[in-house]
């Protein structure tokens, strides 16, 4: 009898031990979300208007996105920011030929004024985006040129018919800018949403005091029962980044959704220790050097290649990442995303090899061959923004010095910068690329010959063809091959532009903030429905 | 005197109109366009058609003189239009920021006067003594320190030594006076110190001037007590130029604190100016300039009135 | 527009015209800064003879000796001002000989030495790019002085010309010029400079111009009121009646009177110009990277690293303060010496 009890006791102990080691007690991250609390965050700039269809700045997304829903959105828990999930759409199907996308909408979703959301609201919103009437501004119209018509056959179904198949459409529809508005309001006044808020999102609009703050409170009738966890949020507008850091440091704000520089992160971690959590990610933004193909000697691809070969990207990655918001050496897609070129292959491109001395010798040789004398001088135009434009410009000038080029920096104020680029009033200039979703279609469209944004005025039919093919490619592996080929042509063979380093997004935030995952885009994951506060 | 004051009053208007004209045309010379900025945003590309369409909405496609006429008509009705960047009425944009700038200006003035008058007097009465030197060095140091550096130093000191930060969010005085003062007292001190430098020097030299007057010298010869009495009288005469300096500097404070506001993160008129210029928001820039210039011109007029009233010896021009 | 120095003209001492046209009131009178008169036995003032005498009597045979005497006396009587002047001279020397004095190339990026503390190799440490702070400070003085002197001298001179012209010609000319100056005065300096930089661009010559233009009306104001005191004098009309040309009258009678306020104003403008340049650079609207300029060194990385690497922000700020301080001390004492009755600025 006694050794039976012992047997039961020891097997019980073994069982418990076994269970706890195989299924360890969850760490804090898996805590059950807590209800309540107000999220305080700071926003570096104020929204010029409230209509996301007509604006381009994160100053619109950060405070206002919580009031709206999208048809589909990017998965807020996916670090690469490339996975679409349904928001107002419960499910969807794509026809075999890729020409018809049918979305089944959730039922019982209500606008903040109590009226029901149906497919006519989705259709009206997308009509505004894709087929805006005269006098209505829609900035992303061109990216939906494959859409022929948007239909609403019944109150809970929306259908997109395309003129030609486009593999990026679904992700494109998940754009954080495509807020769903109310059809009745749009029918009366297309400009109403520029100054007013009425959506189906997790938070209700409370107030906006210009120059000061934006307040939202929990939507008790949000369709996703059990969410949001927060009682509300308060966004304070602060343009000075030192003040933003001070606010987080003084525990007056929890988070800033755009990004801080490495020294700012270091300040916060040094001051607050484990009260600060830091999330980092490559950023879907990058500075590249644009050379005007109609100005000598930059019409010669040897010169352009030389400029790229001179750059020691790996050293810069190490050193510049200490002082400014860049880090990864990358190709034309953000590292870690589906179409990004793996490092081993990237090294084969001009300027991406590890032997910098050989590269620089080659660069000098190319310059000589192209007839560029030693000590040749040109002007590099840069945009007047401290991070990371200024540090990158300083680095570039220094690197080009190493191959005997004498470069002068001319800084153009940010407001005058685009007109300068458009006029083509530059020899070599800093350009930039920021996307809201990492998608080759969206990121590469500007390198097509006819693009408005092709400021360097390169004319390359091969790139045009490659772009068109990859946009229509349905098979992922095929598409990858085409994207790589485009990259090689753009950066290596023709060196139309010179990639510098990928921006690096650093979000140090109060450790109390949970349920928010960083993505490569500062336009994503701002609805705040999944966010909760501990304590 | 009344004829003189009337003339001065009437002269305010051509000056204001002149300011309006200069501003209007000056900002349109700056390259860059509010529409391009709005549309290009962070992504850096916008189609020409969209830009042209927006331009029409703002009336930017009209010839310049016509735009000016439209604007002036509005101004005559005290309607400054709407900001080109946000579309809201100008007064909405300005009012909160103006309240803040005004408050900082007033507080800085109080600091300045509180420092300048006693110090200036002291230095004048004890001229060439160590007190005089100390005051002069103190006031010149105030002029010398760039205000943004002073601000950076102040914030650093708070952080490192006191481990405390002043509130970075503006609460209007009528909402929560204590928090409001907590935030604004530091920039007021930084600015007031600089401001007091000018006023101290002026007080000192004005007092010196007055003390040289015959009646003061005679009193001095007669004995100390009388000198004190006369110093009080002398003070009244000396205050006139001091008040002028203080008033003129005050007028500059309203729009001129651009860098201080950036360092202390104050959402004031100075920063609004910088943002408006960066955005090429013509209507806002014009309205702000008219506001600041208007204050300056009005303060000058007030000075004229005061002089005419207090000093019967002024020469009429 | 009434200004402080326009009052009390009737209350002041009557100007006493000497045969050569200079005015006694511009000489240093003994009571001015002391309560005890200070006269040497030969009846001359113990204090310095002013440069005005020199200007009015250019054929003084002992000009050099007199200049040295002036400097020596100035140093003795006005120690503070002398110190200020000495600092200014040092700064000018440093700016001119920057190439010889700076240990490193101010533009040389050195990733191996980023953000190092002041040590034997880098006396004032390095910045975020490994550039030597001391070298950048030395070359920065060149930028500061270039912009400071450029803007101040142009602004003061053009303003003085306008002020004298306005005072001399009077009437309509005066009225219109005054209004024009008032208009530009209504803009805060930094705002006007900002707008001008936006229009012109931000190379060094453009920044100089952007700071010069707001200074012109301020100078015109000051000089005009000094010139006015002469204009009022009947002998000017007499000279015109006698057939003397405008230029001669201006040069011979008005100019000597305005030189003192001009010099004093110049020193004040110098310090204001240096401050304006550093403010503009701090805002990102002045001189641009990678040029070494004090205000620029305070921007961006210096603020980010203010705690981790305070030397980046401390030294440039200190340099600016020192320069402005020195100019002000010197200007202050210069004013006390030349004409303490001038209460402008």
Query: Mean pLDDT in each 10-residue stretch from start to end of chain C (345 residues)?
Result: 37 38 36 33 38 44 72 70 86 88 85 85 87 90 88 91 84 85 81 80 85 88 78 74 76 76 83 85 79 83 78 87 85 71 44
Give dist(CA C306, CA C302) in Å, integer.
6
Q: Extract the tokens encoding C191.
A: 């705002």
Q: Does B86 touch chain A (CB under 8 A)?
A: yes
> CA-based Rg of chain B, rounded to a whole angstrom?
24
Residue A497: both structure tokens together? 């532009």
Residue B45: its pLDDT value, please? 56
C320 found inside a domain: yes
pLDDT of residue B230: 62
The CA R_g of chain A, rounded to the nearest whole Å, is: 26
Mean pLDDT of all residues in A451-456: 86
pLDDT of B259 strictly over 70? yes
Q: How far apart are CA A282 and CA A259, in angstroms?
A: 11
Q: Among all residues of chain A, which has the CA nearest to that of C113?
A: A319
Q: Would the CB atoms of B31 and A137 count as touching at under 8 Å? A: no
State the pLDDT confidence band at A233, using cuts at 50, 70 and 90.
Answer: very high
b/e map of A86-112 (b: 16 or more CB within 10 Å)? bbbbeebebeeebbebbbbbbeebebb
CA C219 remoteness from chain centre: 11
Is residue A278 pLDDT above 50, yes or no?
yes
- Provide the total of helices (H) and of strands (E) in chain A, helices listed first: 16, 18
Mean pLDDT (chain A, rounded): 88
Could you tell me the CA-to-CA distances from B204 to B124, B193, B208, C169 in Å, in that order? 5, 16, 6, 34
Residue C74 located in a structural domain: no
**CB-CB neighbors (< 8 A) of B152 in chain C:** 298, 303, 306, 313, 317
Structural contact between residues B131 and B122, judged by C-beta atoms closer than 8 angstroms = yes
Averaged pLDDT for residues A239-260: 87
The most confident of A421-430, B84-93, B140-149, by mean pLDDT: A421-430
Would the CB atoms of A323 and C308 count as touching at under 8 Å?
no
A492 has a pLDDT exceeding 50: yes
- Inside any domain, residue C71: no
Rounded Cα distance between C324 and B201, Å, is: 16
Sign of CA dihedral B272, B275, B281, B282: positive
Query: How confident is the model at residue C279, as a pLDDT?
Result: 83
- Give the model's pLDDT for residue A400: 93
Q: Which of A264, A266, A395 is opposite residue C109, by nearest beta carbon? A: A395
Nearest residue, CB atoms, C301 vs list A266, A270, A323: A323
CB atoms within 10 A of CB B64: 11
Are the beta carbons of A518 and A260 closer than 8 angstroms? no
Of A533, A518, A532, A479, the C-alpha closest to A75 is: A518
User: Does the structure show a pLDDT above 90 at A527?
Assistant: yes
Q: Does A387 touch chain C (CB under 8 A)?
A: yes
The two three-digit tokens of residue A124, written as one number: 């009206």
Domain span at residue C95 reads 84-107+127-342
Contact residues, B window 145-204, toward C, CB-based 8 Å cutoff: 145-146, 148-149, 152-153, 156, 159-160, 198, 201-202
HEC letters along chain C? CCCHHHCCCCCCCCCCECCCCCEHHHCCCCCCCCCCCCECCCCCECCCCCHHHHHHCCCCCCHHHHHHHHHHHHHHHCHHHHHHHHHHHHHHHHHHCHHHHCCCCCCCCCHHHCCCCCCCCCCCCECCCCCEHHHHHHHHHHHHHHHHHHHHHHHHHHHHHHHHHHHHHCHHHHHHHHHHHHHHHCCCHHHHHHHHHHHHCCCHHHHHHHHHHHHHHHHHHHHHHHHHHHHCCHHHHHHHHCCCCHHHHHHHHHHHHHHHHHHHHHHHHHHHHHHHHHHHHHHCCCCCCCCCCHHHHCCCHHHHCCCCCCHHHHHHHHHHHHHHHHHHHHHHHHHHHHCCCCCCC
- Per the structure block, which two tokens stand in for C306? 């203010």
Cα–Cα distances (Å) from A232 to A204, A533, B157, B169, C221, in that order, read 9, 11, 34, 18, 57
Q: What is the DSSP letter of B89?
A: B
**pLDDT tens profile A125-136:** 999 999 998 878
DSSP H or E segment with residue A507: strand A497-510
| ipTM of this complex prediction, to 2 decimal places | 0.75
Given pLDDT bands bounded at 50, 70 and 90, which one contains residue B100? Answer: confident
> What digits encode the pLDDT tens for the residues B4-30?
778 888 888 888 888 888 888 888 887
pLDDT tens string A82-126: 899 999 999 999 998 889 999 999 999 999 999 999 999 999 999
Identify the weakest region by mean pLDDT among A283-292, A328-337, B245-254: B245-254
Q: Considering the domain boundaries, does residue C301 fall inside one?
A: yes
- Quick: pLDDT tens for B121-132: 888 877 778 888
Q: Is A338 exposed, middle or buried (0-12, 13-18, 19+ CB in 10 A)?
A: middle
Q: How confident is the model at residue B96 (pLDDT cuts 50, 70, 90)?
A: confident
For B236-251, how does the pLDDT look when each residue is reduced to its tens digit (9 = 90+)?
767 777 777 788 778 7
User: Rounded CA gap, A71 and A174, in Å?
Assistant: 7
| Pairwise CA distance, residues B25 & A43, whole Å | 34
Going by pLDDT thresholds of 50, 70 and 90, the confidence category of residue A21 is very low
Check if C250 contacts B (Cβ < 8 Å). no
Neighbour tally for A3: CB within 10 Å = 8
Instruction: Check CB contact of A108 with chain B, cutoff 8 Å.
Output: no
* Chains interfacing with A (3 or more CB pairs < 8 Å): B, C
pLDDT band at B53 (very low <50, low <70, confident <90, very high): confident
A103 within 8 A of A89, measured Cβ to Cβ? yes
Q: What is the pLDDT of residues B264-281, one digit of tens each?
A: 778 888 888 888 888 888
Question: Pairing mode, if any, of strands A38-43 and A232-237?
Answer: parallel
In sequence order, which residues have a C-beta less than 8 Å from that of residue A232 and are 6 or more positions away? A38, A39, A203, A206, A215, A216, A217, A218
User: In the prediction, which pLDDT does C8 show?
Assistant: 34
Chains that touch B (3 or more CB pairs under 8 A): A, C
Spell out the alpha helix ranges (H) of A376-505: 389-401, 414-423, 440-444, 461-472, 476-487
pLDDT number for residue B6: 84
Q: Which of B195, B198, B211, B227 is nearest to B124 (CA)?
A: B211
CB A337 within 8 A of CB A521: no
For chain A, say whether B175 makes contact (Cβ under 8 Å): no
**Mean pLDDT, to the nearest integer, of B297-303?**
84
CA B104 to chain centroid: 10
Q: For residue A124, give the H/E element and its range.
A: helix A119-130
Number of domains chain C contains: 1
Q: What is the reported pTM?
A: 0.79
Partners of residue C80 in chain B, C-beta under 8 Å: 133, 136-137
Note if the bond before C17 is cis, omega within 30 degrees. no
Q: Is the pLDDT score of B201 beyond 60?
A: yes
Give me the CATH number covering residue C151: 1.10.3720.10
As beta bridge partners, residue C72 has none
Quick: pLDDT tens for A358-374.
999 999 999 999 999 98
Distance CA(C27)–CA(C32), nearest Å, equals: 10
> Cβ of B241 and C5 within 8 Å?
yes
* Residues across chain A: 535
- Let me know if residue C112 belongs to a domain: no
**Which single residue is written with the structure tokens 């190439």?**
C99
- A384 pLDDT more than 70: yes
How sure is the predictor about B152, in pLDDT bands with cuts at 50, 70 and 90? Answer: confident
Of C295, C317, C340, the CB nearest to B208: C340
Judged by CB atoms closer than 8 Å, whether chains meet at C202 and A395 is answered as no
Contact B11/C at CB under 8 A: yes
Alpha-carbon Rg for chain C in angstroms: 23
Q: Is A212 on the interface with B (CB under 8 A)?
A: yes
Per-residue confidence (pLDDT) for residue A524, from 0 to 100: 93
Would you say residue C21 lies in a domain?
no
Interface test with A, best of B265, B274, B275 (most A CBs within 10 A): B265
In a domain, C46, yes or no: no
| A332 DSSP 8-state letter | S
Cis bond before residue B125 (omega within 30° of 0)? no
The answer as to whether C2 is a domain residue is no
């Amino acid at each position: 009898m006694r050794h039976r009890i012992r047997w039961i006791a020891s097997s019980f102990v073994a069982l418990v031990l076994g269970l706890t080691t195989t299924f360890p007690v969850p760490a804090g991250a898996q805590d059950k979300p807590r209800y309540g609390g107000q999220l305080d965050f700071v926003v570096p700039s104020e929204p010029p208007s409230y209509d996301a269809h007509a604006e381009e700045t994160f100053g619109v997304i950060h405070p206002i996105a919580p009031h709206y829903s999208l048809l589909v959105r990017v998965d807020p828990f996916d670090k690469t920011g490339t996975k679409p999930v349904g928001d107002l759409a419960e499910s969807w199907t794509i026809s075999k030929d890729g020409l018809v996308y049918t979305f089944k909408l959730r039922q019982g979703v209500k606008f903040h004024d109590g009226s029901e959301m149906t497919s006519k609201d989705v259709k009206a919103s997308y009509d505004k985006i894709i087929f805006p009437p005269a006098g209505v501004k829609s900035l992303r119209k061109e990216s939906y040129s494959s859409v022929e018509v948007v239909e609403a056959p019944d109150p809970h179904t929306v259908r997109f018919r395309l003129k030609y198949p486009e593999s990026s459409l679904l992700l494109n529809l998940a754009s954080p800018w495509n807020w769903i508005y109310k059809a009745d309001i749009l029918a009366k006044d297309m400009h109403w949403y520029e100054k007013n808020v009425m959506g189906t999102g997790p938070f209700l609009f409370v107030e906006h005091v210009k120059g000061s703050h934006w307040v939202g409170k929990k939507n008790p009738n949000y369709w996703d029962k059990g969410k949001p966890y927060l009682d509300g949020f308060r966004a304070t507008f602060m343009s000075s980044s030192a003040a933003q850091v001070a606010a987080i440091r003084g525990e007056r704000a929890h988070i800033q959704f755009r990004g801080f520089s490495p020294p700012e992160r270091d300040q916060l971690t040094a001051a607050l220790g484990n009260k600060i959590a830091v999330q980092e990610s490559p950023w879907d933004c990058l500075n590249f050097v644009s050379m005007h193909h109609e100005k000598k000697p930059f019409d010669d691809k040897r010169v352009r290649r030389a400029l790229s070969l001179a750059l020691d990207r790996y050293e810069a990655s190490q050193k510049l990442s200490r002082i400014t918001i860049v880090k990864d050496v990358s190709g034309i897609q953000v590292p870690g995303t589906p179409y990004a070129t793996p490092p081993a292959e990237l090294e084969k491109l001009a300027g991406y090899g590890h032997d910098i001395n050989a590269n620089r010798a080659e660069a000098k040789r190319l310059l000589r061959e192209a007839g560029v004398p030693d000590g040749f001088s040109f002007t590099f135009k840069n945009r007047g923004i401290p991070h990371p434009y200024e540090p990158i410009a300083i680095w570039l000038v220094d690197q080009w010095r190493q191959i005997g080029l004498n470069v002068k920096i001319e800084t153009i104020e940010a407001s005058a910068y685009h007109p300068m680029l458009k006029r083509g009033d530059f020899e070599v200039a800093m350009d930039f690329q920021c996307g809201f979703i990492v998608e080759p279609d969206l990121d590469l469209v500007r390198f097509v010959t006819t693009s408005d944004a092709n400021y360097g005025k390169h004319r390359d039919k091969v790139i045009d063809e490659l772009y068109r093919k990859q946009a229509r490619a349905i098979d992922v592996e095929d598409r990858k091959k085409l994207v790589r080929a485009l990259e090689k042509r753009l950066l290596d063979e023709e060196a139309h532009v010179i990639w510098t380093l990928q921006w690096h997004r650093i979000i140090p935030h109060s450790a109390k903030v949970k349920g928010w995952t960083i993505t490569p885009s500062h336009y994503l994951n701002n609805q705040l429905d999944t966010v909760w506060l501990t304590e | 005197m009344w004829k003189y004051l009337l003339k001065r009053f009437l002269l305010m208007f051509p000056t204001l109109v002149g300011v309006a004209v200069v501003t209007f045309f000056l900002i349109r010379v700056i390259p860059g366009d509010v529409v391009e900025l709005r549309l290009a945003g962070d992504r850096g590309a916008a189609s020409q058609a969209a830009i042209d369409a927006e331009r029409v909405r703002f009336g930017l496609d009209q010839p310049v003189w016509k735009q000016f006429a439209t604007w002036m008509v509005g101004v005559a009705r005290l309607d400054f239009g709407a900001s080109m960047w946000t579309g809201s009425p100008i007064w909405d944009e300005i009012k909160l920021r103006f309240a803040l700038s005004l408050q900082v200006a007033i507080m800085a003035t109080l600091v300045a006067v509180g420092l300048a008058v006693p110090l200036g007097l002291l230095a004048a009465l004890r001229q060439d003594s160590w007190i005089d030197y100390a005051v002069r060095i103190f006031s010149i140091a105030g002029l010398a320190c760039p205000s943004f550096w002073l601000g950076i130093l102040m914030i650093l000191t708070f952080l490192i030594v006191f481990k405390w930060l002043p509130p970075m969010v503006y609460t209007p005085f009528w909402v929560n006076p204590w928090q409001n003062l907590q935030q604004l007292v530091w920039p007021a001190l930084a600015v007031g110190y600089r401001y007091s430098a000018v006023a101290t020097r002026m007080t000192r030299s004005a007092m010196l001037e007055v003390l040289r007057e015959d009646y003061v010298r005679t009193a001095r010869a007669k004995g100390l007590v009388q000198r004190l009495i006369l110093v009080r009288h002398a003070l009244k005469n000396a205050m006139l130029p001091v008040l002028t300096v203080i008033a003129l500097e005050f007028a500059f404070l309203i729009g001129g604190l651009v860098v201080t506001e950036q360092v202390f993160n104050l959402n004031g008129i100075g920063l609004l100016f910088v943002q408006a210029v960066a955005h090429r928001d013509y209507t806002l820039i014009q309205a702000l300039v008219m506001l600041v210039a208007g204050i300056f011109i009005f303060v000058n007029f007030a000075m004229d009135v005061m002089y005419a009233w207090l000093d019967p010896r002024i020469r009429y021009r | 527009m009434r200004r402080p120095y326009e009052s009390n003209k009737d209350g002041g001492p009557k100007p006493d015209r000497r045969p050569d046209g200079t005015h006694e009131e511009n000489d240093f009178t003994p009571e001015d800064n002391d309560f005890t008169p200070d006269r040497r036995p030969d009846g001359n003032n113990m204090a310095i003879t002013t440069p005005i005498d020199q200007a009015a009597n250019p054929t003084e045979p002992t000009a050099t000796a007199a200049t040295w005497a002036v400097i020596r006396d100035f140093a003795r009587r006005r120690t503070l001002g002398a110190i200020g002047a000495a600092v200014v001279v040092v700064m000018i020397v440093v700016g001119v000989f920057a190439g010889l004095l700076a240990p490193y190339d101010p533009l040389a990026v050195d990733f191996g030495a980023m953000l190092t503390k002041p040590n034997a190799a880098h006396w004032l440490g390095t910045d975020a790019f490994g550039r030597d702070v001391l070298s950048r400070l030395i070359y920065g003085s060149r930028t500061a002085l270039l912009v400071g002197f450029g803007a101040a001298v142009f602004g003061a001179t053009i303003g003085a010309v306008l002020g004298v012209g306005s005072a001399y010609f009077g009437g309509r000319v005066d009225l219109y010029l005054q209004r024009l100056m008032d208009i530009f005065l209504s803009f805060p300096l930094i705002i006007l400079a900002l707008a001008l930089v936006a229009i012109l661009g931000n190379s060094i010559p453009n920044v100089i111009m952007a700071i010069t233009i707001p200074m012109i009306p301020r100078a015109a104001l000051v000089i005009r009121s000094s010139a006015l005191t002469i204009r009022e004098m009947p002998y000017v009309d007499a000279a015109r009646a006698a057939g003397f040309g405008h230029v001669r009258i201006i040069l011979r009678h008005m100019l000597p009177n305005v030189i003192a306020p001009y010099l004093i104003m110049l020193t004040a403008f110098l310090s204001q110009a240096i401050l304006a340049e550093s403010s503009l650079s701090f805002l990102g609207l002045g001189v641009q990277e990678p040029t070494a300029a004090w205000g620029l060194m305070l921007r961006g990385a210096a603020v980010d690293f203010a705690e981790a690497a305070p030397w980046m922000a401390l030294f440039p700020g200190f340099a600016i303060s020192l320069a402005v301080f020195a100019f002000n001390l010197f200007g202050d004492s210069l004013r006390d010496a030349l004409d303490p009755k001038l209460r402008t600025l």
